[in-house]
Amino acid sequence: MKSKILIDSISLLSPLTGIGRYTYEIAKYLDSNNTSFFYGYYSKNLIGISSGSEIKNFKSIIVKNPIFKKIVRRVLFTVSKIFAPSYELYWQPNFIPNSGIKAKKTVTTIHDFSIILHKEFHRKETVEYFEKYFFKNIYKSDFIVTGSNFTKQEILDRLDFDESKIKVIYHGIDHNIFRVKKDIKLDIQLPLKFIFSVGSIEPRKNLLGLLKAYINLSYEIQSQYKLVLAGFKGWENSEVMALIDENKDNIKYLGFVSDDELASLYNLSSLFIFPSFYEGFGLPVLEAMACGTPVVCSDSSSLPEVGGDAVVYCNPYDINDIKNKIEFVLNDTSLQQSMIAKGLKQAQKFSWEKSANEHKRVFKSLI
């Protein structure tokens, strides 16, 4: 049977970050008989999260080289045009519709506008690619999905799209993985008590601000709680890595961790801190709350929509405020218990199944 829906799934070829996670989680709930995937080639198979295929490893090398990356993109666009079957609907979960895809209707997900508003947070070649193709291709979309009301308003402010053709669909989490756990077994050496943060080491995540805030914590707090970081090394990270190395007695960097390890780290930590400058959604905040961990996060962009009243917010541009909010929570055990209870309740509002059902309703309305 011919597939009606095509999903651009190129983000699944790299180790999963936010967009890859989002693509995979929605795709796995769709009717497999009705869905195909574009990886630079057309396939009926959804690549799994843990796949270690050669093509994944190849892309992880290619994306580090800007020249190769441009060549690969051109090849993928050419391949899609020459060998393209036609579909009822094409879903692009990663900002820029592929003009070579043949479909009667196109749905595009716009996650945020950080590449436009904060060019300093992104690689030069990423900004150039976005500026060249986003505004040219986005109007090929018949419908736009976004993950927050914050981003919806940015779309309305910056694009000429009718509001009726834009829908906010919140992301979710896998509650089978991200939950309160007992008898945790983790093959990672950890401090007895620690503050935890996760995210790629890149400018947007504000890890430099977090490190400076941690180093300025009171002696009482810093002697009790170490800082543990997880995530890819990212880019423009030399200053962050140097500061970690200078304070390695108190700060531990784990690098990439699996979902199961991440859930255990949330559970074991005394506090989760997420001081990002800008987020289209902010999955780590949701994951931490679902694991019963008190959360301090930025008061910026979409994060208050995710955290609700369960989170203590800080100004990401004010290192002293980050420091004060960490101390505020860690010095008040009754506040921590209240935040845990509110966080568990808030996290239950979000699931990938719920998000996928909303996507399916959009797709069905267009086919």
pLDDT tens per residue, range 308-359: 999 999 999 999 999 999 999 999 999 999 999 999 999 999 999 999 999 9
Tell me, yes or no, whether 181 lies in a domain: no
Same domain? 138 vs 229: no
pLDDT at 91 over 70: yes
Say yes or no: 145 and 286 in one domain. no
Instruction: State yes or no: pLDDT of 53 exceeds 90.
Output: no
Residue 31 has pLDDT above 80, yes or no: yes
Q: What confidence tier does 85 reach under pLDDT thresholds 50, 70, 90?
A: confident
Asked if the model's pLDDT at residue 61 lies above 60, the reply is: no
Residue 52 has pLDDT above 50, yes or no: no
pLDDT tops 80 at residue 69: no
How many whole angstroms separate alpha carbon 301 and alpha carbon 278? Answer: 6
Please indicate, yes or no, whether residues 157 and 33 belong to a single structural domain of this protein: yes
| 8/17 Cα distance (integer angstroms) | 16
- How many angstroms separate the CA atoms of 230 and 249, rounded? 16
Tell me if 186 is assigned to some domain. no
d(CA 173, CA 81): 35
Model-wide pTM > 0.85: yes
> Are residue 343 and residue 355 in the same domain, yes or no?
no
What's the total number of domains in the chain?
Answer: 2
Q: Does 21 share its domain with 118?
A: yes
Residue 230 lies in a domain: yes
Whether residues 163 and 213 fall in one domain: no
Residue 183 within any structural domain of the chain: no
Q: Is the pLDDT of residue 41 over 80?
A: yes
pLDDT digits (tens, 9 = 90+) for 156-182: 999 999 999 999 999 999 999 999 999
Residue 111 lies in a domain: yes
Higher pLDDT, 95 or 58: 95
* Mean of the per-residue pLDDT values of the chain: 91
Regarding whether 331 and 260 lie in a shared domain, the answer is yes
Of the listed ranges 23-32, 118-127, 211-220, 266-275, the one predicted with least confidence: 118-127
Asked whether residue 61 is domain-assigned, the answer is yes
Res. 307: pLDDT tops 70 = yes
CATH for 287: 3.40.50.2000
Residues 228 and 316 in one domain: yes
| Same-domain check for residues 130 and 9 | yes
In a domain, 318, yes or no: yes
Q: What is the pLDDT of residues 127-163, one digit of tens each?
A: 999 999 999 999 999 999 999 999 999 999 999 999 9
Does the pLDDT value for residue 280 go beyond 90?
yes
Are residue 87 and residue 108 in the same domain, yes or no? yes
In a domain, 112, yes or no: yes
Q: Quick one: 164 and 230 in the same domain?
A: no
> Residue 223 corresponds to which tokens in the numbers above?
């002697």
Burial of 29 (0-12, 13-18, 19+ CB in 10 A): middle
pLDDT of residue 160: 95
Which domain, by its residues, includes 303?
194-347
225/163 same-domain check: no
- Is the pLDDT at 50 greater than 90? The verdict is no
Structure tokens belonging to residue 268: 């074991």
